Amino acid sequence: MQDSVAAPSMPPAGARDDARVIGVIGLAHGTSHFFHLILAPLFPWLKEAFGLSFAELGLLVTVFFVVSGVGQALAGFVVDRIGAVPVLLFALAAFVVAACGLAASTHYAWLMLFAAIAGVGNAPFHPVDYSIMNERVSAPRLGRAYAVHGVTGSLGWAAAPVFLVGIAQPFGWRAAAAGAGALAAVVLLVVWRHRALLEGVHRAPAREARAAQAAGGAAYTLAFLRLPAVWLSFAFFFSWAVALGGVQTFGPEASKALHAVPVELAALCVTAYMLANAGGMLVGGFLLADPARSERMIATGFGVAVLVALLIGFSAVPGWSVPLLFAAMGLGAGIAGPSRDLLVKRATPPGATGRVYGMVYSGLDVGMAVSPAAFGVMMDAGRPALVWLGIALFQGLLILSAVNIGRVTAPRAPAGAA
């Protein structure tokens, strides 16, 4: 009789494991996005402490993303070869070293060095994250995993300015950088504690990949580079990153120059953008019931973002409204996010997840590398409106890129079909 008594209602073991994997990877992904902004919120303090120009400040971010972009393309091969968990632990450890080194820096060259080390840490995250999720999360929950992954990235971006500025104002920029290092150390411990759950993610696929590579050599390993969709996806992420880099680095400063935005409101602009971006991703995931809507949703979301960017750059809006406009732009871009990820998944051939995601997302790093220095030059020239024109232009290019990706990845009717 006792055996017939129903157990208390609990999620099945598979659901609990999926939730833990999604949570741990989401936390790590949020940390990587937090470190995208380890420098930009501290620009006012670094400018004064080291006597730097806007272009020199932008160059620090450029170094971060150049290193990350090159490393990300290579990291995909490493993940496919040895597995994701060791690479993830290494990346988080690099963040700890970089943040503590930035806190102790006494010269611009040291800032440059530790910005590069932070870029090394950032490089593996997308091939690592998507490899783990695709292997460890069950198919019915994979869409939720992608949504949480995107939201945690936006939350990491949103948290960085508040965290760093909140510490830097009372305690100084060095304390803020050290606090970021402590945060990365905590996440490293969390991932280490859950390594048994994540371990073995790529053991069987790695053996298969090595066998296939031995049979086909470099031709097998690099075959994915012949796919037009991979390069179109790279161009999409490049354009997205140039626009986003402008928003994150000099968007608030350009808005202050154009609309006399108070300092305390300017500090909230990026946070407002990222929080709205996270909410937009949830909305976009809900609306994307039909994958055929992907291109239309990207066009709608980024169309709104283009209009808002032009409004900030070329109209007389009150300073208090600028954070709200940042939020509207973030919402539009966020709604397009799940559709973006679906296009990349459609462009990925079986057995090449790490390599494709590493290559495609390196476009994000290349764009982020180009963006700060270019927009910094515009700011040094006293042309803040050009910053917003550039942001609008590259958001517009996203629509064109998405249409082309959809065209080359759309399923074709069988030969002879009516």
User: Can you give the chain as a three-state secondary structure string?
Assistant: CHHHCCCCCCCCHHHHHHHHHHHHHHHHHHHHHHHHCCCHHHHHHHHHHHCCCHHHHHHHHHHHHHHHHHHHHHHHHHHHHHCCHHHHHHHHHHHHHHHHHHHHCCCHHHHHHHHHHHHHHHCCHHHHHHHHHHHHCCHHHHHHHHHHHHHHHHHHHHHHHHHHHHHHHHHCHHHHHHHHHHHHHHHHHHHHHCHHHHCCCCHHHHHHHHHHHHHHHHHHHCHHHHCHHHHHHHHHHHHHHHHHHHHHHCHHHHHHHHHCCCHHHHHHHHHHHHHHHHHHHHHHHHHCCCHHHHHHHHHHHHHHHHHHHHHHHHCCCCHHHHHHHHHHHHHHHHHHHHHHHHHHHHCCCCCCHHHHHHHHHHHHHHHHHHHHHHHHHHHHCCCHHHHHHHHHHHHHHHHHHHHHHHHHHCCCCCCCCC
CATH number at residue 317: 1.20.1250.20
Which one, of 129, 166, 167, 162, lies nearest residue 145 by Cα? 129
Which one, of 184, 243, 222, 274, lies nearest residue 364 by Cα? 243
Contacting residues for 241 by C-beta, under 8 A, at least 6 apart: 65, 363, 364, 365, 366, 367, 368, 371
418 located within any domain: no
How far is Cα 44 from Cα 57, in angstroms, rounded to an integer? 10
203 located within any domain: no
92 located within any domain: yes
210 located within any domain: no
Q: Which amino acid is at 371?
A: S
* CA distances, 19 to each of 12, 130, 136, 144, 378 (Å): 11, 15, 10, 10, 45
**Which domain, by its residues, includes 127?**
14-198+225-403
Contacting residues for 97 by C-beta, under 8 A, at least 6 apart: 114, 117, 121
| pLDDT tens for the 418 residues of the chain, in order | 444 444 444 445 477 888 899 999 999 999 999 999 899 899 999 999 999 888 898 889 889 988 987 888 788 788 877 888 999 999 999 999 999 999 999 999 999 999 999 999 999 998 898 888 878 888 777 767 777 888 898 789 888 988 999 999 999 999 999 999 999 999 999 999 998 888 754 444 444 554 545 444 444 566 667 777 778 888 888 998 899 889 988 899 899 999 988 878 887 898 899 889 888 888 877 776 666 667 788 888 899 999 999 999 999 899 899 999 999 999 999 888 777 767 776 666 666 666 777 777 778 778 877 888 888 889 988 999 999 999 999 999 988 887 777 676 665 444 344 3
Q: What pLDDT does residue 148 have? A: 84
Q: What pLDDT does residue 8 have? A: 42
How far is Cα 138 from Cα 287, in angstroms, rounded to an integer? 22
6 located within any domain: no
398 located within any domain: yes
* Number of domains the chain contains: 1
70 located within any domain: yes
